[in-house]
Amino acid sequence: MAQNSDRFLSKVELIMDSPTERNKFKQLSTFDDKIAFLRGHFIMDEMSIRLLERKYLLNESNRDSLVNQLEDIVLRSEN
């Protein structure tokens, strides 16, 4: 797992290390479904979820950035 100061993204990297969880995530079609999957995942702690909500979900441009980062994590995990 790459070192990352962002606790939420570090947790996402851990989740995407699992091929099963990665495939579940990739089958989700909407942004809201993907966020619900990550928010409800057993590996997420309260601090990570709060970071997600504050840093990424408060404005639209941060959501776009989050989508790009999630796609990058999935691609890196598949290699």
| Chain segment 5-59, per-residue pLDDT in tens | 689 999 999 999 999 999 999 999 999 999 999 999 999 999 999 999 998 888 8
pLDDT of residue 3: 45
Domain boundaries, position 64 = 7-78
State how far the Cα of 39 lies from the Cα of 27, in Å rounded to an integer: 16
pTM recorded for the entire structure: 0.84
1, pLDDT greater than 50: no
Does 2 fall in a domain? no
pLDDT in tens, 46-67: 999 999 999 888 888 899 899 9
**Structural domains counted in the chain:** 1
Does 52 fall in a domain? yes
Does 1 fall in a domain? no
Does 22 fall in a domain? yes
Does 12 fall in a domain? yes
